[in-house]
Chain A
């Protein structure tokens, strides 16, 4: 039973397209996240979301938008894809406690051509 699952694992698309990545967690966690990992392995938080608020990293372009149909899902929509969007995107979840660790999905490798 995968705790945090995201699909697809690989996504290859052309510039200008719109795409979505889905994420589901079965841990009963309150909060979900999207992270971007670049080619140098640097991890940057994009969004955190629980049923109370969405926190957006101000450096994230507004072409990126999270959508949460329910507490267990947080999907990532990307409009007008650009070459620089190529990266690995990780979904994660945690309890809403100050020392709770993150549980990560296995990532979606997005390649924009």
Chain B
């Protein structure tokens, strides 16, 4: 069985501050892990993905995530928040492929000027 938990449905940060969005997964085998971003009235876009090549994964728009097997976590970070980062962020886990992808409940990021 696989699942993903995103801690905090809403995170607020000041512009220029560190962004940390938390994701913990449950998987019986080494998983594939993804972060997606959803801007208002749009579909989801891939930010980054973990496929076991490297534990620290760099994505688009300055985001990165670190896979920590011992903590079953895949937290998303960005050193300095920008106003344009305000969006909904989804963590997702898969064991066998995209047709078996489980999404977390999402975290809404608000950036305060």
Residues of A bordering B, CB below 8 Å: 4, 31, 33, 40-43, 45, 48, 55, 90, 92, 94, 96-107
Contacts and interface: CB of A to CB of B under 8 A. Distances in A.
Most A-side CB within 10 Å, residue of B34, B45, B97, B99: B99
B44 A102 contact: yes
Q: Which of A43, A45, A103, A105 has the most CB of B within 10 A?
A: A43
B46 to A, nearest CB: 4
A45 B101 contact: yes
A42 B98 contact: no
A22 to B, nearest CB: 15
A33 B105 contact: no
A102 B97 CA distance: 10
Interface residues of B, number: 24
29 contacts: A4-B43, A31-B98, A31-B99, A33-B98, A40-B105, A41-B88, A41-B106, A42-B103, A42-B105, A42-B106, A43-B106, A45-B101, A48-B98, A55-B99, A90-B43, A92-B43, A96-B97, A98-B32, A98-B94, A98-B96, A100-B97, A101-B98, A102-B36, A102-B44, A103-B46, A104-B43, A104-B44, A106-B42, A107-B42
B97 A98 contact: yes
B51 interface: yes
Contacts of B51: 99
A101 B98 CA distance: 7
Nearest to B102: A45
A105 B43 contact: yes
Contact of B99 (A33, A43, A90, A104): A33
A55 B99 CA distance: 8
Contact of A101 (B41, B42, B49, B103): B49
